[in-house]
């Protein structure tokens, strides 16, 4: 399918056909494609939990507020943000970029470029994503406000701001996954109606993790899509400046 066809095929399906199973390996392949989505500073502070076990699916239904999309889904994918993995991911990206420089940069520029990556992922990212009961974010906020008096600077620096950054990145991954599913003819429904505390308990997630989205997966029934798709006219949202 062309992109336009994929976008038109993707609908929030709320009733799946229990007689039509989907291949978990194909879903996993779509999740592999989702890893190509961009994330802020390439930090990839997300995880996904692919639920195929019937007993676990049944436990997830009340945690998803007994929605039909959840109870009729063949499989579920839970997307999670993981701020606690910041240092680990920063070290992984740093190691990759250092090797990237050595393989692809002229010898005379390698040292400078490696130092730049060391400064960014070794110093800046841990500082920017650091958390300490909100205090680290307050200090960052005060610092950027002071610097911002003299030059442009990113002002979203609080711990709550960084939480938003991680969820935006994770949302891009989830959308890429849903489009990949449409491309192979599978249907999805992104759920925001869920009890995050219960979902985290079922998946044994740490306290710091956040549930970004639960995505129900399957093959749609005729009543799975609620009529025509409503969209506001582009003229109400498009502003050319």
128-173 per-position pLDDT tens digit: 999 998 899 999 999 999 999 999 999 999 999 999 999 999 999 9
Q: Determine contact, residues 186/217, Cβ cutoff 8 Å.
A: yes
Nearest partner of 157 among 175, 180, 137, 171, judged by Cα: 137
Q: What pTM was estimated for this model as a whole?
A: 0.95
Tokens of 180: 């990949």
Which residues, listed in sequence order, are joined to residue 211 by a DSSP beta bridge? 80
In angstroms, how far apart are the furthest CA atoms of the chain?
64
Specify the pLDDT at position 226: 87
Exposure string over 176-215, b if 16+ CB within 10 A, otherwise e: bbbbbbbbeebbbbbbeebebebbbebbebeeebbbbbbb
Strand arrangement of the beta sheet that strand 210-218 belongs to: 46-51, 75-81, 210-218, 187-191
- Can you list the alpha helix ranges (DSSP code H) found in the chain? 3-9, 24-34, 54-63, 68-71, 86-104, 107-119, 125-129, 135-147, 159-183, 196-202
**pLDDT at residue 6 in the model:** 97
Write down the pLDDT at residue 133.
Answer: 87
User: Which residue ranges of the chain lie beneath pLDDT 70?
Assistant: none
Taken as a whole, the chain contains a residue count of 241
> Which DSSP category does 220 fall into?
B
Cα four-point dihedral sign 6, 9, 15, 20: negative
pLDDT for the residue numbered 25 = 98
Residue in 178, 180, 175, 137 with CA at minimum distance from that of residue 156:
137
Residue partners of 159: CB distance under 8 A and separation at least 6: 131, 134, 136, 137
């Amino acid at each position: 399918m062309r992109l336009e066809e994929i976008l038109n095929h993707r609908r929030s399906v709320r009733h799946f056909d229990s007689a039509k199973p989907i291949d978990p390996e194909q879903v996993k392949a779509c999740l592999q494609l989702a890893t190509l989505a961009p994330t802020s500073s390439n930090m990839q502070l997300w995880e996904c939990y692919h639920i195929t076990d019937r007993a676990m699916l049944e436990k997830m239904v009340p945690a998803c507020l007994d929605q039909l999309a959840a109870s009729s889904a063949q499989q579920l994918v839970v997307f999670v943000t993981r701020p606690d993995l910041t240092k680990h991911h920063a070290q992984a990206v740093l190691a990759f970029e250092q090797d990237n420089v050595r393989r692809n940069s002229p010898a005379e520029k390698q040292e400078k470029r490696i130092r730049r990556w060391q400064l960014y992922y070794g110093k800046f990212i841990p500082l920017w994503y650091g958390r300490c009961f909100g205090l680290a974010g307050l200090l960052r906020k005060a610092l950027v406000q002071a610097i911002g008096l003299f030059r442009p600077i990113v002002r979203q620096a609080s711990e709550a701001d960084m939480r938003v950054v991680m969820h935006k990145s994770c949302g891009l991954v989830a959308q890429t996954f849903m489009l990949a599913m449409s491309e192979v003819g599978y249907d999805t429904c992104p759920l925001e109606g869920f009890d995050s505390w219960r979902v985290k308990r079922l998946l044994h997630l740490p306290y710091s993790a956040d549930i970004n989205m639960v995505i129900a997966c399957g093959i749609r029934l005729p009543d799975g899509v609620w009529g025509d798709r409503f969209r506001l006219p582009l003229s109400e949202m498009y502003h050319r400046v």
